Structure 1
């Protein structure tokens, strides 16, 4: 029974990997929060071997690096109270949305590397525009990022992307100049959180008021990560039809696993649990877009940075089919013989 299950799983993984075309997009944006350095995340993760690591997963991997997003400030956009660096956020988001949409329409899974988590407004919106139907949003984070401009204590926009995306919260925002292109059409019924452990009071109110599916560290500890994943997918997409978007904040991992990040919170996911989530997403065969954000190479020692970058690459590799048990060579059925 076990060997049959194992063979089935390996066949499924092999078939999914065979069809994987990946587009990597860097977004060196750091204006959604106050700590300098997170904009260097894409460069450090690339320099850590991201592209080659993806290509080595399997011979059928087709990986294209689309470079980094650049943007210019739109002088017509006005700032919004309690949304710091709003003009930068809007100007960058417009470009990111266009690029993500183009990559997905080109038949590739879009991997966006940040940068801070404010970029997810654009990556998720670009995904929705590309597929023109409901998606599942898997938000892996220590924080809910569910504040509005009226509820945020800090005014940092990296704590607002989910609230900007959710159609159920559209009436709780003021007019946002320059954001007319972004319609909040995503329903929170298609959202699941993993790893929560630092949730603001109004965010907690929203989660309970709207019945958002949220697996904090308490639930993960109680039920185990595998059971939580299965419960989430069964509730959000029992027919297994919806495109999946994963937005992975590296601070979802415990600070021991990923110390070089701007808002670390102790008691988080192990790297093994983070990898397990991404392996499950990969096996679904429906991953269409992924964000990896909030790696800040300016925080901590060189060892801290290396540990954090390595963790980020491990998580990404799992999303695209790297198997911890290994994969046999393509189109090979026997060992080479001595001649």
Structure 2
């Protein structure tokens, strides 16, 4: 570790590649990540300062990312300031500080001919639409990104961009109900990243991809996600898995013994699985039916075809979600048969 610390103190400017290759020779993965984290905050290289934003973002070091954004915002170079603007938008997308419309407007106001920044703009747009559950918008952005990839020659940066695009194809294929392709991308994401946050997200989506197929395979991935989240103290992920994902999958397969949740929607789902439809209706009457999942739960509990049709249409037309649209569709088939 003393040798690694000495590398950080060297006065000679080092590229991202040079520093990472030297650290890899002497450090385990976790130490390497922490050394890289410090390197990007301490470097005087203009090029490394902006590209370090991608490393910090993709590894979930958001506090450090905000510090590096400020460094780039104060740069004399337009390129660095543009990179800072993009990553600030990415952070603001996660925090929900601005509306999707405001974020998209900020992106449109960022003018550049720099290929990497153009690529990051497309990734940022996808993030915004992902948060809006509008998956049908992904296709056009993916075509643009793949064309831009051909003009990027930074090997390390391109590795992270390829990870991003694999994540996007994973979600896009899943929402298109192309499960074999989706799972292939899911496992690819797991092999491409050491980021606990990304690993957790991949396991969650892999687990949910078995909603209509296999409880045992689905719950395996959710338990893997929970194990990683707990190890790395990812409290928001732990809550999501314990309160929503596991209850959802368990209720879908009617494996609800010892399953509980604070989430009212999933409480209703559990009651439906137990055959307590009236209790489920009571729970759902206390919340707004503002998602297709809640419409589906209420429609299933009441045996209401109109609610199920509304849920199906919202999944398809508002979200472009052909995977979870199978929930109300399967229930409608039972009613009509």
TM-score (norm 1): 0.29
TM-score (norm 2): 0.29
Normalized per residue, the structure richer in helix is: 2
- From the CA coordinates, give the structure whose radius of gyration is larger: 2
Normalized per residue, the structure richer in strand is: 1
Greater RCO between the two (CA within 8 Å, min separation 6)? 1
